Amino acid sequence: MDQTDLTAPLLTTRMLDVGIAGRVFCRALELSLPPGESLAILGRNGAGKSTLLSVLAGLREPDAGEVRIAGVGYTQLGARRSARIRGWLPQSRSEAFSSTVLETALVGRHPHLDRWDWESEADASKARQALAAVGLAELAQRDVQTLSGGERQRLAIATLLTQAPQLYLLDEPLAHLDLNHQIATLELFSTLNRSEQRAASVMVLHEPGLAARFCSRALLLFDDGTTLQGSSDEVIGSESLSRLYGYPLREVGAGKLRWFMPA
Amino acid sequence: MPTRRRALLILAALAGLAQLSIALALMVGSIPITPLEVLAALVDNGGTSGEVVRSLRLPRALTGFACGGLLALAGALLQVLLRNPLADPYVLGISGGAGIGALLAIVLGFGAAGINGLAFVGALGAMLLVFGLAHGEGGWTHSRLLLTGVIVAAGCGAVVTLMLAMAPDDRLRGMLFWLMGDLSQTGDPTLVLILLTAVLLVSLPFARELNLLARGADVAQALGVAVRPLRRGVYLVASLATAAAVTHAGAIGFIGLIVPHLVRLATGNDQRLLLPASVLAGGSLLVIADTLARTVLAPQQLPVGVLTALIGVPVFLFLLTRGAAGRG
pLDDT digits (tens, 9 = 90+) for A94-116: 888 889 999 999 999 999 999 99
| Contact (CB, 8 A) for B134 and B77 | no
Closest-CA residue of chain B to A110: B223
Closest-CA residue of chain B to A101: B1
For A5, counting Cβ atoms within 10 Å of its Cβ (0-12 exposed, 13-18 middle, 19+ buried), the class is exposed
Query: Cβ separation of B222 and A83 shorter than 8 Å?
Result: yes
pLDDT > 80? residue B141: no
Mean pLDDT of chain B: 88
Q: What three-state secondary structure class fits B1? A: coil
Query: Cβ separation of B83 and A106 shorter than 8 Å?
Result: no
Alpha-carbon distance B311 to nearest alpha carbon in chain A (angstroms): 24
Cα A29 to chain centroid distance, Å, stands at: 18
Q: What pLDDT was estimated at residue A87? A: 97
Give phi and psi for A92, each to the nearest 5.
-150, 150
Q: What pLDDT was estimated at residue B30? A: 81
pLDDT > 80? residue A3: no
Cα separation, B11 vs B8, whole angstroms: 5
Domain ranges in chain A are: 11-100+165-262
Closest-CA residue of chain A to B227: A79
Query: Cβ separation of A96 and B83 shorter than 8 Å?
Result: yes
Quick count: other Cβ atoms within 10 Å of Cβ B103? 26
Query: Cβ separation of B1 and A87 shorter than 8 Å?
Result: no
pLDDT > 50? residue B328: no
Query: Cβ separation of A83 and B224 shorter than 8 Å?
Result: yes
Query: Cβ separation of A118 and B3 shorter than 8 Å?
Result: yes
- Residue A1: band (very low, low, confident or very high) from pLDDT cuts 50, 70, 90: very low
Q: What three-state secondary structure class fits A23? A: strand
Q: Counting one residue from A and one from B, how many pairs have CB atoms under 8 Å apart? A: 79
Q: Which of A98, A89, A96, A59 is nearest to A153 (CA)?
A: A89
Quick count: other Cβ atoms within 10 Å of Cβ B95? 33
Which among A79, A103, A111 has the least Cβ separation from residue B1?
A103
pLDDT > 90? residue A28: yes
Cα A104 to chain centroid distance, Å, stands at: 19
Q: What pLDDT was estimated at residue A8? A: 86
Contacts of A146 in chain B (CB under 8 A): 327
**Residue range B196-220, pLDDT digits in tens:** 999 999 999 999 999 999 999 999 9
Query: Cβ separation of B1 and A100 shorter than 8 Å?
Result: yes
Alpha-carbon distance B134 to nearest alpha carbon in chain A (angstroms): 20
Quick count: other Cβ atoms within 10 Å of Cβ A136? 22
- Residue B180: band (very low, low, confident or very high) from pLDDT cuts 50, 70, 90: confident
> What own/partner pairs with CB < 8 Å and gap ≥ 24 does A109-113 have?
A109/A162, A109/A163, A110/A83, A110/A163, A110/B208, A110/B209, A110/B212, A110/B223, A110/B224, A110/B225, A111/A80, A111/A81, A111/A83, A111/A84, A111/A163, A111/B223, A111/B224, A112/A84, A112/A164, A113/B208
Residues in CB range of B254: below 8 A, 6 or more apart: B305, B308, B309, B312, B313
Closest-CA residue of chain A to B139: A60
Strands A227-231 and A217-221: antiparallel
Closest-CA residue of chain A to B215: A95
Cα separation, B8 vs B168, whole angstroms: 52
Alpha-carbon distance A123 to nearest alpha carbon in chain B (angstroms): 13
Q: What three-state secondary structure class fits A90? A: coil
Query: Cβ separation of A94 and B216 shorter than 8 Å?
Result: yes
Residue A247's identity, in one-letter code, is: Y
**Residue range B17-29, pLDDT digits in tens:** 999 999 999 999 8
Query: Cβ separation of A106 and B1 shorter than 8 Å?
Result: yes
Give phi and psi for A36, each to the nearest 5.
85, -5
User: Percent of chain B scored above 70 by pLDDT?
Assistant: 95
Q: What three-state secondary structure class fits B318? A: helix
pTM of the complete model: 0.91
- Residue B178: band (very low, low, confident or very high) from pLDDT cuts 50, 70, 90: confident
Query: Cβ separation of B208 and A93 shorter than 8 Å?
Result: no
**Residue range A148-204, pLDDT digits in tens:** 999 999 999 999 999 999 999 999 999 999 999 999 999 999 999 999 989 999 999
Give phi and psi for B99, each to the nearest 5.
-60, -45
Alpha-carbon distance B69 to nearest alpha carbon in chain A (angstroms): 22
A225 — alpha (psi -120 to 50), left (phi > 0) or beta?
Answer: left
- Residue B55: band (very low, low, confident or very high) from pLDDT cuts 50, 70, 90: confident
Contacts of B212 in chain A (CB under 8 A): 107, 110
**Residue range B120-138, pLDDT digits in tens:** 899 889 988 988 888 755 5
The mean pLDDT value for A216-229 works out to: 95
The mean pLDDT value for B156-160 works out to: 93
Q: Going from the N-terminus, what domains does chain B have, and what CATH number goes with each?
A: 4-316 (1.10.3470.10)
Instruction: Specify the CATH architecture of the domain A11-100+165-262.
Output: 3-Layer(aba) Sandwich (3.40)
Taking each helix axis from N to C end, the angle separating B190-203 and B227-249, rounded to the nearest 10 degrees, works out to 160
Which among B3, B215, B222 has the least Cβ separation from residue A59?
B222
Mean pLDDT of chain A: 93
Cα separation, B242 vs B59, whole angstroms: 20
User: Percent of chain A scored above 90 by pLDDT?
Assistant: 87
Q: What pLDDT was estimated at residue B196? A: 97
Find the chain B residues whose C-beta atoms sit closer than 8 A to any C-beta of A. 1, 3-4, 83-85, 205, 208-209, 211-212, 214-216, 218-219, 221-227, 264, 268-270, 272, 327
Contacts of B84 in chain A (CB under 8 A): 96
Query: Cβ separation of A107 and B215 shorter than 8 Å?
Result: yes
Q: What pLDDT was estimated at residue B146? A: 85
The mean pLDDT value for B159-176 works out to: 89
Alpha-carbon distance A119 to nearest alpha carbon in chain B (angstroms): 8
Cα separation, B291 vs B33, whole angstroms: 14
Which among B84, B205, B224 has the least Cβ separation from residue A110?
B224
Which among B3, B205, B221 has the least Cβ separation from residue A115?
B205
pLDDT > 60? residue B177: yes
Which among A81, A88, A96 has the least Cβ separation from residue B222?
A88
Query: Cβ separation of A110 and B269 shorter than 8 Å?
Result: no
Query: Cβ separation of B218 and A59 shorter than 8 Å?
Result: yes
pLDDT > 70? residue B289: yes
Q: Which of A244, A79, B255, B111 is nearest to B119 (CA)?
A: B111
Q: What is the ipTM of this complex?
A: 0.91
The mean pLDDT value for A7-18 works out to: 93
Which among A90, A94, A110 has the least Cβ separation from residue B208?
A110
For B117, counting Cβ atoms within 10 Å of its Cβ (0-12 exposed, 13-18 middle, 19+ buried), the class is middle
Cα separation, B116 vs B98, whole angstroms: 9
Give whole-number Cα distances, A67 to A28, A101, A104, B71, B126, in Å: 12, 33, 29, 43, 40
- Residue B327: band (very low, low, confident or very high) from pLDDT cuts 50, 70, 90: very low
